[in-house]
Amino acid sequence: MDFLDFEGQDLYFDDPISDEVKGLLDNAAKIYPDEEAEHLLMRAYFLEPRHLMVLVALYRYFYYQHRYEDALIIADRSLEVSADKLDIRVNWWELKPEHLGSGVFISMGLTRFYLLGLKARSYLLLRLNDLDGAIDCLSKLEELDPNDQFGSAFLMKVARKERGDFLRLVHG
């Protein structure tokens, strides 16, 4: 599969969204990093909890605030929502290439979003120093993206090096 083929594909931000929620997202962007931005984003989430544009906005807010645990919750929620839209009925750690193959028939853009969400999850786990969790996610990405179109191989090198350094430190 060529995950980098974007031609003619709808993306998560192409899904219709209410004017009210769009206004909340726009206003939150205008006043970032003011604390009120989070309140606007949460209101948008309560109104549209399954809209990927809302989830991405929340993820970015938490990420840029260095609130990685909160960003991880949103990354996981994004994986759940996109998997549901792709009719993927297994958790990410059970995912096989054939699940993605059927998802591609629904939406290549959403399949790509799902895999980028898994990469984001891996990166957050690295930031949280959960090296084993990051390696688990990245191993799944290696299985699903053997040509490394998402560039996760570099993150895997970092995770394995960090884990090796940690183990050497602990075991002397």
Q: Could you read off the pLDDT of 75-92 as tens digits, one per residue? A: 999 999 999 999 999 999
Q: How many domains does the chain have?
A: 1
Within a domain: 2: no
What pTM was estimated for this model as a whole? 0.87
The yes-or-no verdict on residue 3 having pLDDT over 90 is no
Mean pLDDT value of segment 67-82: 97
The answer, yes or no, to whether residue 166 has pLDDT greater than 70, is no
Range of the domain at 29: 12-171
- Average pLDDT on 30-52 reads 97
Residue 59 domain-assigned? yes
In a domain? residue 19: yes
pLDDT value at residue 16: 87
Mark residue 148 as left, alpha or beta (left: phi above 0; alpha: psi -120 to 50; beta: remaining): left
Q: Is the pLDDT of residue 129 over 50?
A: yes
The answer to whether position 3 is within a domain reads no
144 contacts 115 by C-beta, under 8 angstroms = yes
Is 53 part of a structural domain of the chain? Answer: yes
Classify residue 69: in a domain, yes or no: yes
Asked if 162 and 169 count as a contact pair (C-beta separation under 8 A), the reply is: no
Please state, as a whole number, how many other Cβ atoms lie within 10 Å of the Cβ of residue 62.
Answer: 21
- Confidence grade of residue 72 (pLDDT, cut at 50, 70, 90): very high
Tell me the CA end-to-end span of the chain in Å, nearest whole number: 44
Contact 79, 117 (CB under 8 A): yes
Nearest to 155 by CA among 128, 135, 129, 172: 135
What is the distance between the alpha carbons of residues 84 and 77, in angstroms, rounded to a whole number?
Answer: 11
pLDDT at 169 over 70: no
What CATH number does the domain containing 159 carry?
1.25.40.10
Is residue 4 in some structural domain? no
Per-chain mean pLDDT for the chain: 89
pLDDT for res 106: 87
Residue 7 CA neighbour count, 13 Å, CB half: 2
In a domain, 35, yes or no: yes
